[in-house]
Amino acid sequence: MIGDKSRLILFIVLLLGIITSCASQKKVHYCGDRFDVNYCLYLKDDSFVLSSNLKLKSDIGRGIWTGALGGIAGSTAGLANVHGVIPGALYGGATGGLISGGLSAATGGSFQEGFTSGAIGGALTGGVSGGIAAAHSSHDRNILTGYIKREYLENFANKFYNQNFSSELSGMTNRPRIKVKALSGLYGKTDNLSNTVSATGQRGANTLITLNRSIVKQALKGSTNQLYLTAGHELQHAIHHDSGRIRSAFRNAASIGISPENRVGFVNTYSEIKAYQWSLNAAKRLSFRFDYYSNKLNYYNDNLYKFY
């Protein structure tokens, strides 16, 4: 039995065939006894009218099948794992146009007209197919763009923290807030919104952990190692603020003679060293990117002494 999705796509394909067939027609001119190379061949009146009708039928037929073929190509957007109206339309327009244009040229027609007809059909059915795929996705997506909604990713990230770091979270005075967004060159970052790294650091700081949406999406697909290492690493920074360790590090920096202008850099580097120590141990347990985290830890260990 044909489902609602298939019926909708089939209807659009058929409708599109009619529309594009009309769009692809050339004007037919009656030449009479006058020869006009722009519009017709010089033939007897009756013969010319007959040949024009045949050409018109040929153009209509080609318009129908190129438009329909483009529509069918566009309807595969959902099968190609393309989600969203806009991505589906772009996918369908490109694939439908290229396929229809190539076959139109191969059968004696115009590549440009075949491409246009197929692209229109492909874009329409591709947009519909992509929108349906987004609506029926196992993840909550924006119908227009196909992007997984940020709220959905953040709910997933919070559940991930609860499942993997419950003991660490239970020991904190204030749980950090979790945000998911695109980050350039970073897996994650931690900010203390109430007291950004200062000598008067307070216990129970208002910390915000931001995770790169790309690694959260990877975890949704089952690849959780990078999310685990990043989430745990950033949680260490949040714990440093919450426990008062940042405040202690500032006091220690002053006591060992670190100049005031270097204390923020010193404390940040100290926090990174502690967080990467956790990351390296976790990477070893997971047998995942051990060398990467070892190099990062060595980098911050070497940089710590630049502040003295």
**Residue 157: what residue type?**
A
Per-residue pLDDT reduced to its tens digit, 43-57? 444 444 434 443 444
- Cα 243 to Cα 143, 151, 223: the distances in Å are 43, 29, 31
Least confidently predicted of 124-133, 189-198, 222-231, 278-287? 189-198
User: 139-153, 172-186, 224-238: which has the minimum mean pLDDT?
Assistant: 139-153
Angle between helices 4-24 and 111-135 (to 10 degrees): 160
Is 271:237 a contact under the CB 8 Å cutoff? yes
Give the closest residue to 141 by CA, choosing from 92, 89, 83: 83
Write out pLDDT tens, residues 1-22: 445 554 454 455 445 544 544 4
Which pLDDT does position 138 carry in this prediction? 85
Q: Flag the least confident range among 148-152, 191-195, 222-226, 244-248.
A: 191-195
Q: 17-42, pLDDT tens digit by residue?
A: 445 444 444 444 444 444 444 444 43
Q: Is there a contact between 205 and 211 (Cβ–Cβ < 8 Å)?
A: no
State pLDDT tens for residues 70-115: 566 666 665 678 888 888 888 888 887 777 778 777 767 778 877 8
Residues 31/39, Cβ–Cβ less than 8 Å? yes
Distances, alpha carbon 45 to alpha carbons 22, 30, 33, 50, 210, in Å:
25, 8, 7, 9, 77
**Element holding 211 (H helix, E strand):** strand 207-212
Mean pLDDT of the chain: 78
